[in-house]
Structure 1
Amino acid sequence: MKQIFLLRHAKSDWSNLGQQDFDRPLSKRGINNAAKISEYVRKNNYSVDKVYCSSSERTKQTFDLCSDGFNFPINQADYLDELYFGGISEVSRLIKSLKESISSVLLVGHNPTMHYLVEELTEQRLIKFPTCSLAEITTENLWKDVPLKKCTLKSFIKPKELKF
């Protein structure tokens, strides 16, 4: 079985109006929510073999705060501009190019790509994919054969649902 974890970045800070979108850091709420997700992941013994993270500041901070929960070293993550600028087709190509020795991957990115990707891989329709939410998708297929609409949305966790 293959696992795909999709994590939308945590809430960003909009207080510096002149700041570029790419450079926005997390807000206090975002930091707290990322810590909640990290604790949830740790308590559920999730782990990943590979991490791809958007190169934006808020996604890097989100992963930094969640990396312990996933038991994955920060310095082994790949930070990709494609996860900031790209859409579903770029992320799908990334998934299909994974080595078969990898059984689980975490992608840390942005909406609407994360939202649309859940809907493209599974037949689930999401109303929203809030900041710092985590989707767990599974498939029995090889990475190169990951089918659209045939994967399973095993869980979808929103930080406001977590009471730690």
Structure 2
Amino acid sequence: MPRYLYLLRHAHTAEKHPGQNDLERTLSSTGVKQALLIGRYLHQQQTPLDSILCSTADRAHATAGLIADALKVDTDKVIPQEELYEASTRTFFAFVAGLEDDQHHVMCVGHNPTISYLAEFLTGSEIGDMVPAGLAVIRFNLLSWRDISQGNGSLENYLTPEMVDTFQ
């Protein structure tokens, strides 16, 4: 059975206030709309997700929650992961390689530039700088997440909120 990794950059954030901790930055109204557009599109496509793993930053957790709401997925499947906040590409890669093998459809919500670099590293595709709420859908024909390596994923799709807005 193939494995799918959905790499999602968190949606657009509000401006940082003086003295505000970066972890506490929230989504803007545009970001809420972006996350809901991606979530609704995934719902229309009947995308199954075993889990939605996200950075502990408020903006990433809120993005993951909105995706879960749109997909009608239980919120207990949204799991904040400390190591995804400020993760290097190597750390994020190791995190994905350590996923449980009973998970076949996993979304990870993170930050740029790491999320973009990881998508390119895993697929060998040129994606560039993923936009807020940009989503790379990567397919692996592997028995275990431990077997992922550079370029052995196939970029099935790259979506932006603007692209999916035209489908709805």
TM-score, L = length of structure 2: 0.92
Q: What amino acid is the match of 1:130?
A: V
Q: Are positions 1:154 and 2:156 aligned together?
A: yes
Q: Are positions 1:50 and 2:51 aligned together?
A: yes
Question: Partners of 1:40 and 1:72 in 2: how far apart?
Answer: 14
Q: What amino acid is the match of 1:114?
A: I
What's the offset of the Cα at 1:15? 5.6
- Deviations along 1:99-148, one digit per CA (max 9) or x if unpaired, are 22111111011001110001110110123200001110001012110121
What's the offset of the Cα at 1:76? 2.9
Q: Structure 2: 5+ residue runs without aligned partners?
A: none
Q: Which residue of 2 aligns with 1:145?
A: 147
- RMSD between superposed Cα atoms in Å: 1.3
Question: Partners of 1:134 and 1:69 in 2: how far apart?
Answer: 15
CA contact (8 A) 2:16 2:25 kept: no
Question: Partners of 2:41 and 2:77 in 1: how far apart?
Answer: 22
Question: Partners of 1:32 and 1:77 in 2: how far apart?
Answer: 19
CA contact (8 A) 1:42 1:68 kept: no
CA contact (8 A) 2:40 2:71 kept: no
Question: Partners of 1:88 and 1:117 in 2: how far apart?
Answer: 6
**SS of equivalent to 1:160:** helix
What's the offset of the Cα at 1:85? 2.1
Q: What amino acid is the match of 1:160?
A: E
CA contact (8 A) 1:35 1:66 kept: yes
CA contact (8 A) 1:4 1:104 kept: yes
* Most deviating of 128-137 and 97-106: 97-106
Q: Which residue of 1 aligns with 2:63?
A: 62
What's the offset of the Cα at 1:94? 1.4
CA contact (8 A) 1:47 1:71 kept: no
* Most deviating of 68-77 and 41-50: 68-77
Question: Partners of 2:128 and 2:89 in 1: how far apart?
Answer: 18
Q: Structure 1: 5+ residue runs without aligned partners?
A: none
CA contact (8 A) 1:51 1:107 kept: yes
Q: What amino acid is the match of 2:161?
A: P
